[in-house]
A and B are shown apart, each in its own frame.
Chain A
C-alpha cells in the first residue's frame, strides 16, 4: 500500500509539469485553434529565467581584504555579490530564494514573449492549414532552442531550491504508516501545491471574470462575439500571453527538480502533446486530468514489480514507452480524448 502511495506521489510532480504545459497548450489551441510546436520552448525559456535571475543576483564585486593575506603576503580577493553589499541580509535572502523569485521575472518576460509570438508570427497562420502551423512553430522552436544554447551552453545548469525546503519530509508517519516508509522531498510537494494553485487560478479566471467569460464565448463562437462589438483578437492575444506565463512559471519552478538544459523544451513538447491529445484537444479539464494521470502512470511503470512483470512478457523498460502506448490506445479507441468535445478536429 505504501509503495503504491509513494508511486502516486512520485507521479504528481511530473504530472504537475505535464498538466501545466498541457494547460497552456490547450489554452492556445482552444482559443486560437493553433497547434503550437514552440510551446515546449516557452517552458524552457521559463526555466532559463530562473538561471538568468540567479546569475544577475550573483554578480560579484571584488574587494581586497587587507586583514587576510595569502602566503606571498598579497591581500586576498573577496567576492561579494552586489545585492549582498547593497541590501545586506535581505540580499543574501534574495540569492537564497532566487528560484521562486524568478517567477516575478518570468511573468513579464513570458507575457511579452507570448504576445510578441502571437502578434508577430502566429497571427498570420490562423487561416493556414494545421501542417503549416506545426512547421512554422517547429522552426521557431529550433531557433529559440539554439539561441538559448549559444548563450547558456549545452550543459544542464543546476538550480538549488531554497535551503529551508531542501530536505525531505516523512509523509508516511502523518497518515499512520511506519517511519521512513514514504519520504518525499519538500520541493516536490511545493511544486504540486504550486501547480494546483495555478491551475485553480486559471480556471477561476476563466470562470468568474468578465474577461474569462468573453474568452469562453469567443472559444465557442468567435464570429458572433466579434459581431457584438468586442475586440476578441485583442483578448486572444492576452490569452496567448497568459498561456505563456503559465508554462513559463511551470518551467521556473521545475528547475530544482530537473536542471534546465537547452533541449528540454523539445523533450517536454512531445510528451505534452501526447497529454493534450489523450485529454482531448481543446478541453482544459481534460489536459489537467491527462497530465496527472500520465505522470502517475509513468511512475507506476517504473516500479520494480511492474517492470519485472513486463520483462517476463518481453516488454522491458515499460516506463519509457508507457505514455506513448497509452496515447496510442486512447487515440484509437476514443479519438476525441478523455474529456474532449465531439467534433474538435476529429475525423
Chain B
C-alpha cells in the first residue's frame, strides 16, 4: 500500500507510456479506433475520481452520474454561447460540477453507510427527473442538448471550426498510420483526453500518498474512533466528495468535447451503477484498478454488444448444425443486446470471489506463480533470528 517514491515514479512512467501507446497496444484487440479509445480515457478519469470517494474514503455513492451529466451540459452550453473551443467548456464543466457536488455533498454527508447511498441516489434521480422534464429550457428535455446554427456563439469568428477544437486542432481529426499490417489511428481527441487521464492519475496518486489521503483512509477504517479523538472528519469527506465530483464533471465535459451532445440518460442511476462496477471490477482503493476496470467494461460494452448471431454462426460453422444452433442460441443471450447479462454475471462473480478486483486477482496470481521463492525467502528471514536466541 505504501510504496516508495521510486516505485511511484516507475508506475507513473509505465502508465504514461501505456496510455500514450494506447492505439498501438489495443489495435490487435480490435479496440484501436478513436471512439472507443476516447471512451477508455474519459471513463478512466471518471473511475479514478470515483475511487477517491469510494475506494479511499469508503463512501458508496450511487449518484455520481449526476456530476457527469452536469459537466456535459455545462460544456455544451459553452459551445452554444462562445464557440467550439474546448478549454472554456472544460473549465465551466469542472466548476459547475464542483459547485453541484459541494451542495449535494454537504447535505448527503450528514449521513453515512446505506443512508448516504440512498441520499445520493435520491439526489441523482432528482437531477435526472429535473433534467428530463423540469429544466427543459436549460437541458432541452428528452431531445438532449446540442448546438444549433441559430445559437449565438459570440466568439465565433470567420475561420473558426464547426467542431469542438483546441485552438483550431479539431478533436475528431485522426492520423492513420500503416504499421505491421495494422491501421493505427492516432486521434487528437484521444490524446487530449489521455493528457487529462494522466494528469488525473498523477493527482490521484499524490492524494493517495498525502496526509490528506491518510486521513481519508483512516475515515474508511474507523470514523468513530477519529471522532472520539477529536478529529472533525466532515471537511475531509466533503473535500473527497467534491474532488471526485470534479473528476466526474471533467469526464462529462470531455464526453461533450468528443461529441457535442448532452442527454439526461447520462445521469440515470444505472449510469452511476456502471462507475461503481468499473471501480469494483478493477479493484477499489488501488491506483491502477479503476482505469483498468473502466477499460474492461467499455471494451466489453463495445465489443460484446457488436457480436451478433451471424458472427456467432460464423464461429461455430464447423460444428454439426443442431449443436451449432444450440450454441448460437445459448451464447446469443450473453452477447449483442444481452451483453448486460454478461456484465451482471461478471460483476457478481467479482464481488463474490474476488472482492479486491482484477488488481487483487493479478497480485494473487503473481504470488501463486512466484509463491515458492517468496515463502522460502520469508522462511529464511524467519529462521534467521532463531539461532540468535
Contacts and interface: CB of A to CB of B under 8 A. Distances in A.
Interface of A: 35, 121, 124, 130-132, 134-136, 138-143, 145-147, 149-150, 266, 270, 273-274, 277, 281, 315-317, 320-321, 324-325, 327-328, 331-332, 335, 345-347
Given A146-B338, A270-B269, A317-B129, A35 B344 contact: no
B344 A316 contact: no
A140 B347 CA distance: 9
A321 B114 contact: no
Contacts of A132: 351, 355
Nearest to B355: A132
Contacts of B114: 35, 130, 134, 281, 345
Nearest to A271: B125
Nearest to A320: B129
Given A324-B125, A328-B123, A335-B111, A136 B341 contact: no
A131 B166 CA distance: 41
Interface string B344-358: 110110011001000
B340 interface: yes
Nearest to B122: A324
B348 A136 contact: yes
Contacts of B107: 328, 332
Given A335-B115, A347-B113, A328 B122 contact: yes
A273 B352 contact: no
Contact of A331 (B115, B126, B134): B115
Contacts of B348: 121, 136, 139-140, 143
Contact of B60 (A131, A320, A345): A131
Contacts, number: 113
A211 B337 CA distance: 45
Nearest to B341: A146
Contacts of B224: 347
Given A132-B351, A139-B348, A321-B130, A331 B341 contact: no
Interface residues of B, number: 41
Judged by DSSP, the binding face of B is helix
Given A320-B129, A327-B122, 16 more contacts: A35-B114, A139-B351, A141-B344, A145-B344, A146-B340, A149-B337, A150-B337, A270-B121, A321-B134, A324-B122, A324-B126, A325-B126, A331-B115, A331-B118, A331-B119, A347-B111
Contacts of A131: 58, 60, 117
Nearest to A318: B134
B75 interface: no
B110 to A, nearest CB: 6
A320 B122 contact: no
Nearest to B342: A146
A143 B355 contact: no
**Considering residues A139, A321, A325, which has the most beta carbons from chain B within 10 angstroms of its beta carbon?**
A139
Given A135-B351, A345-B114, A146 B126 contact: no
Contact of A150 (B130, B269, B333): B333
